[in-house]
Amino acid sequence: MDQNPGDITEADRIKQMSLWQEHTRLALIVVLGLSLRLLFITFFPTVQTSDFRNLLDFAILFRDDGLAKNAWQWLYFPPGLPVLLSIILRFVHESPDTVARWTTAFITGLVPILPYLLWKDVLPLRTRMIAALLLALWPGQILFSSVLAQDNWIIFPTVAISVLAVRVFVVKKEDGVPFLSAFLYSATVAMRQEMMIVLLPATLIAILGGERKNWLRNLLVSSAIIGIIFTAVTLQRGKAIGSYSLVTQHLGKAILGAYVPGAGMGWIDPIPYAKAKYPELMKNVDPDKKLAEAGMSLAWQEFVTRPGFHGIRIFGSTLINLFKMDRQLVWWSLSGNGVLPPAYQKDAGVLVMSLSRLLQIYPVAINLLFACSLIFALSHTQLLNWITPLLATIVLKISLHAIIVSQPRYFLVVIALEILVISIVWDAMLKKGNWKLSLRSIILGIVSILILIVAMNYARDYIMKHDIVLLSDDRLSASLIQENMMSRHGSV
């Protein structure tokens, strides 16, 4: 029988229905991701403080003077976030605080669509939905989405590159995405410098792709893009302060602040310590510049003096920041001094109390699901291969901050990538044929997390007991202890 041109076949109807469902699910993810964060920043307009205020001031300087000449922030902050925010500030004539909150919430609210869209026709729908929903409903990040943190802004490009890298491993013939991957990588490094190392493996995979014949072309294109952006950042810094460098020069001081006596599992300003213990070194010099040069060697001396202590500190602080992240993040958006106007503080206290248990449980639950996923994947070569780019990025990020300096917000990206791993592996774990291995993985995962929590608590108690300032100068001891108490909520 001949079919009229206007007739719709059953296959067409199924395709249209499938497309409608796909768009409906996408709309749901967008609404969840954005609405929860935009509602939060509307009802709780966080005032940027500490590093976050400095970043906002840096962006305002870029808005008013394209190079932010002679700004002291150049010494401590990469220009990526301030430059991008300054562009928005030029066109949106609202309060800079308001623009900062809305931009941050918008960027983080769009993260859930990445695995849903970019894994379409690559991974199962259930995998895509698990990843999207866990990212959209992440309570700690929602309550931190009002804070102008580099760690918030890098979630989007890091997840995007990671999702593209996974595609390459799943679809063997997948071509690389050199232009987009190189741009995202450069932007991420321009916002947080350690991502130059952390994100490199996943970026290379996303750039090269699975088609060997295109590797040289992709590598040349991406190298050109990365080179152009890195050169622009270097020239920008040089024109502004006379130092032609891609990265800031404060690493030595940053590392030393985590190793000096009294820092505990946090960070304190190491200048008082350096002036007291090395008076000749610090005499008649700019302390910040001197510690930028000598800080790493001084930190190494502290480590070799107490290697066992610092080993326990590194291990314990990493676990605390992973397992107790959400409770600590809300200090910067809801609980801390001056982070909210007085009229909002009472409601903020009520919100924190009502969500206290959830904020305790969620990061532990994510790490538990991740542990189960990792154990299960060890028995599935294909799954382990698929998640390799994610695991490489997670290991590098955790390792760098464990050794250098560790704060809860530094591990936001880690949790986001753990969610991607969970979505991939748990899709296989939930299949009936895998129930025995899934059960074993869950039991071993629970045992592993319990052991880590016990070890974390031991490490915390050990550091609190043994981190005594053994210096003869009582004034220095008092100063270090006072600054250590202030740094419990994070370093500057």
pLDDT in tens, 145-165: 999 999 999 999 999 999 999
13 class by beta-carbon count within 10 Å (0-12 exposed, 13-18 middle, 19+ buried): exposed
| Torsion of Cα atoms, 388 then 438 then 113 then 186, to 10° | -20
Look-up of token digits 């990025």 = 393
Backbone angles phi, psi at 440, to 5 degrees: -60, -40
Give 253's pLDDT tier (boundaries 50, 70, 90): confident
CB-CB contact of 176 with 223 (8 Å):
no
pLDDT in tens, 320-348: 999 999 999 999 999 999 999 999 999 99
Look-up of token digits 């870029």 = 62
Q: How large a percentage of the chain has pLDDT more than 90?
A: 73
| Predicted pLDDT of residue 7 | 56
The answer on pLDDT for 459 being more than 80 is yes
The answer on pLDDT for 375 being more than 60 is yes
Identify the three-state secondary structure at position 242: coil
| Predicted pLDDT of residue 462 | 92
CA distances from 249 to 61, 86, 187, 193, 266 (A): 20, 23, 19, 11, 21
- Alpha-carbon gap, residue 372 to 209, rounded angstroms: 29
- Alpha-carbon gap, residue 376 to 434, rounded angstroms: 10
Average pLDDT on 104-108 reads 97
| Predicted pLDDT of residue 82 | 97
- Alpha-carbon gap, residue 161 to 145, rounded angstroms: 21
- Tell me the domain boundaries of the chain: 13-248, 257-492
- Alpha-carbon gap, residue 143 to 330, rounded angstroms: 6
CB-CB contact of 169 with 123 (8 Å):
no
The answer on pLDDT for 409 being more than 60 is yes
| Predicted pLDDT of residue 492 | 32
Neighbours of 346 (CB within 10 A): 10
- Alpha-carbon gap, residue 168 to 158, rounded angstroms: 16
Token pair belonging to 463? 């550091």
- Alpha-carbon gap, residue 464 to 460, rounded angstroms: 6
The answer on pLDDT for 250 being more than 90 is no
- Residue 475 CA, chain-centre distance (Å), reads 37
- Alpha-carbon gap, residue 263 to 58, rounded angstroms: 28
Average pLDDT on 356-378 reads 96
| Predicted pLDDT of residue 469 | 55
Give 11's pLDDT tier (boundaries 50, 70, 90): low
- Alpha-carbon gap, residue 60 to 55, rounded angstroms: 9
- Alpha-carbon gap, residue 287 to 294, rounded angstroms: 10
